[in-house]
């Protein structure tokens, strides 16, 4: 018996779901999506979802497996839903276009699948051998509910695999039953061979759980509180939903490990290697990650408040919407890091390297970024109220609409930075280098820019009322229509500056062509 949910392309990125039914030994399926890892495919089972309620499958990749028992039978201990209905939770982090189709070798099959949103509202329904259903699924949490038709007493192993193909599956002519079944059988064969099936081994004591983990690389939902796993080789291990509070994992090899929803509060992870590890929704409050390596790790929605991550390496890691408040990230290497919407309030980022990091909408209130490198970083809409940025390097950074009021930006490098409509009221930019920066529409009222370098800067329509520009270099700057009322420009260099239409004092405006000095009527 085989099922296919096909994929088509849309204007937004589109994915499809392949459902494969087969008769398998009940067990747990483990894997690792990591080059050089144990297996080629990351799979989550209903045992994982049952053991870790916060765990969700990804809507754009991976495999989920359920063991669908017929209605009227006794519900297994580790089960989602009820007898005859299995539930796979899915998290959509962005809108995705999906086409759901269900083609079954058994023409009389009456299985069906529904997708339900977080309010219990049915989004779509697909019947076996029925019409395909296409929907754009909005961001949010959903449940895929798979219903057994009850025509047999067999428990079915259901593999749900997400596929993505920018050439469009439909365009390749895989439309006939023969093509569909051939494709499904190929995927099923590859999935079973790459994922593998092992016996579930859920021990009771911490010691037994450690033994199970070291022998099988698998212990989802286990109690590993205070476990000593120092230096352990746990590459691709599945510890999703596990209790690892105050566990000792210093120097452990955790490349590609699945720690989704795990509790690592107070855990020791000094010098641990977590490359490509999955820590979605993990809790790492007050954890020690000094010198840890987390390149390409996924820490979406993780809680790392108070964690010590000084000198850690997190190149191209993902921490969107993560909580890093009060964390210590001194000297950390965070190049190209995804911190969109993250909470970094009161975080210590002294001399951290955030080159080309994405901090869009991040909360950096009270953060200490002294000497930090933020070249090319995107801080669009970020809140930096009360942050410390002394001697920070923000060359070519995007700070459009960022909140920077009252900040001490003494000596900060903002060469060619984008500060369009940024709020810099009462900020101290003494000695800062803003040459070539774009400050059009920015608010700089009461700001201190004495001795600042603004040569070639674009300050069109900027609000510079009462700003201290004494001794500032404004040579070649664009000050068209800028508001300079009561600004202090003593000893400022305005050679070549365009002051056309600038609001000088009271109701006085500079005439068109005012270059280097203001020409009045």
- Whole-number average pLDDT of the chain: 80
Q: What is the pLDDT of residues 251-265, one digit of tens each?
A: 999 999 999 999 999
Q: What is the pLDDT of residues 182-239, one digit of tens each?
A: 333 344 444 433 333 333 334 358 998 999 899 889 998 889 999 999 999 999 999 9
Position 146 scores a pLDDT of 86
C-beta of residue 458 within 8 angstroms of C-beta of residue 438: yes
With respect to residue 291, please indicate whether it lies within any of the assigned structural domains. Answer: no
CATH of the domain at 495: 2.160.20.80
If one counts every other C-beta atom within 10 angstroms of the C-beta of residue 158, the result is 24
Distance of alpha carbon 284 from alpha carbon 386, whole angstroms: 26
Predicted TM-score (pTM) of this structure: 0.59
With respect to residue 323, please indicate whether it lies within any of the assigned structural domains. Answer: no
Provide the domain count of the chain. 2
The owner of tokens 């999906």 is: 98
**151: containing domain:** 14-195
If one counts every other C-beta atom within 10 angstroms of the C-beta of residue 373, the result is 21
With respect to residue 153, please indicate whether it lies within any of the assigned structural domains. Answer: yes
CA angle 224, 160, 319 (to 5 degrees): 50
Phi, psi angles (nearest 5°) of residue 141: -100, 135
What does each of the 521 residues of the chain score in pLDDT, given as a tens digit?
333 333 333 233 334 444 544 333 333 333 454 333 334 344 567 777 776 677 777 766 666 777 778 888 877 766 778 888 888 888 887 777 777 766 666 677 788 889 999 999 999 888 877 787 878 888 888 998 988 888 877 776 666 666 544 333 332 222 323 333 333 334 444 443 333 333 333 435 899 899 989 988 999 888 999 999 999 999 999 999 999 999 999 999 999 999 999 999 999 999 999 999 999 999 999 999 999 999 999 999 999 999 999 999 999 999 999 999 999 999 999 999 999 999 999 999 999 999 999 999 999 999 999 999 999 999 998 899 899 998 899 999 999 988 888 888 888 999 999 999 999 999 999 999 999 999 999 999 999 999 999 999 999 999 999 999 999 999 999 999 999 999 999 999 999 999 998 888 777 788 887 787 887 65
Report the length, in residues, of the chain: 521
Distance of alpha carbon 336 from alpha carbon 17, whole angstroms: 31
Q: What is the pLDDT of residues 343-365, one digit of tens each?
A: 999 999 999 999 999 999 999 99
The owner of tokens 């000497």 is: 371
With respect to residue 293, please indicate whether it lies within any of the assigned structural domains. Answer: no
| Structural domain ending residue among the three candidates 144, 161, 195 | 195
C-beta of residue 89 within 8 angstroms of C-beta of residue 57: yes
Phi, psi angles (nearest 5°) of residue 74: -70, 135
With respect to residue 259, please indicate whether it lies within any of the assigned structural domains. Answer: no
| Structural domain ending residue among the three candidates 152, 180, 195 | 195
Helix (H, G, I), strand (E, B) or coil at 184: helix
C-beta of residue 406 within 8 angstroms of C-beta of residue 386: yes
Position 176 scores a pLDDT of 29
With respect to residue 93, please indicate whether it lies within any of the assigned structural domains. Answer: yes
Position 232 scores a pLDDT of 94
CA 48 to chain centre: 22
Distance of alpha carbon 224 from alpha carbon 407, whole angstroms: 45
With respect to residue 375, please indicate whether it lies within any of the assigned structural domains. Answer: no
| Structural domain ending residue among the three candidates 195, 210, 239 | 195
CA 176 to chain centre: 39
Helix (H) or strand (E) holding 163: strand 156-163
Residue closest to 128 by CA, chosen among 269, 211, 5, 302: 5
Q: What is the pLDDT of residues 411-452, one digit of tens each?
A: 899 999 999 999 999 999 999 999 999 999 999 999 999 999
Give DSSP secondary structure letters for 448-485.
Answer: B-TT-B-TT-B-TT-B-TT-B-TT-B-TT-B-TT-B-T
With respect to residue 176, please indicate whether it lies within any of the assigned structural domains. Answer: yes
Helix (H) or strand (E) holding 409: none
């Amino acid at each position: 018996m085989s099922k296919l949910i096909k994929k088509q392309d849309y204007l937004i990125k589109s994915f499809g779901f392949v459902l494969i039914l087969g008769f398998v030994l009940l067990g747990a399926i483990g894997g690792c999506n990591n080059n050089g890892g144990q297996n080629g495919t990351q799979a989550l089972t209903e045992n994982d979802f049952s053991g870790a309620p916060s765990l969700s499958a990804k809507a754009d990749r991976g495999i989920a497996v359920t063991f669908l028992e017929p209605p009227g039978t006794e519900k297994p201990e580790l089960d989602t839903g009820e007898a005859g209905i299995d539930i796979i939770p899915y998290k959509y982090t962005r809108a995705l276009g999906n086409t759901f189709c269900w083609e079954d070798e058994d023409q009389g099959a009456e299985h069906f699948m529904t997708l339900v949103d977080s309010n219990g509202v049915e989004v779509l329904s697909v019947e076996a051998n029925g019409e395909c259903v296409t929907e754009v699924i909005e961001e949010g949490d959903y449940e895929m509910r798979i219903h057994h038709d009850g025509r047999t007493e067999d428990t079915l192993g259901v593999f749900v695999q997400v596929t993505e193909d920018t050439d469009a599956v439909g365009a390749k002519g895989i439309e006939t039953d023969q093509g569909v079944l051939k494709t499904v059988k190929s995927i099923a064969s590859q999935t079973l061979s790459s994922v593998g099936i092992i016996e579930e081994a859920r021990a009771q004591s911490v010691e037994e759980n450690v033994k199970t983990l070291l022998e099988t690389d698998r212990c989802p939902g286990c109690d590993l509180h205070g476990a000593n796993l120092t230096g352990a080789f746990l590459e691709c291990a599945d510890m999703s939903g596990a209790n690892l509070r105050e566990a000792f994992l210093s120097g452990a090899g955790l490349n590609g490990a699945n720690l989704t929803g795990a509790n690592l509060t107070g855990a020791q992870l000094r010098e641990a290697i977590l490359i490509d590890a999955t820590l979605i929704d993990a809790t790492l409050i007050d954890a020690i990650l000094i010198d840890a390596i987390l390149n390409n790790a996924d820490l979406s929605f993780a809680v790392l408040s108070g964690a010590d991550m000084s000198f850690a390496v997190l190149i191209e890691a993902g921490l969107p919407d993560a909580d890093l408040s009060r964390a210590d990230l001194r000297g950390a290497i965070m190049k190209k890091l995804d911190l969109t919407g993250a909470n970094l309030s009161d975080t210590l980022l002294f001399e951290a390297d955030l080159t080309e990091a994405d901090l869009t909408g991040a909360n950096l209130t009270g953060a200490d970024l002294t000497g930090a490198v933020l070249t090319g970083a995107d801080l669009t809409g970020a809140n930096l109220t009360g942050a410390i940025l002394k001697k920070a390097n923000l060359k070519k950074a995007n700070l459009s609409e960022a909140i920077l009021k009252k900040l001490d930006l003494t000596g900060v490098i903002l060469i060619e930075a984008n500060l369009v409509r940024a709020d810099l009221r009462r900020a101290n930019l003494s000695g800062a280098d803003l040459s070539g920066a774009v400050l059009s529409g920015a608010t700089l009222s009461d700001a201190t820019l004495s001795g600042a370098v603004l040569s070639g800067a674009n300050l069109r329509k900027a609000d510079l009322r009462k700003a201290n520009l004494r001794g500032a270099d404004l040579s070649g700057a664009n000050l068209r229509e800028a508001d300079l009322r009561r600004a202090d420009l003593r000893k400022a260099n305005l050679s070549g500056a365009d002051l056309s239409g600038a609001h000088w004092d009271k109701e006085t405006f500079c005439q068109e062509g005012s270059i280097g000095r203001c020409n009045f009527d």
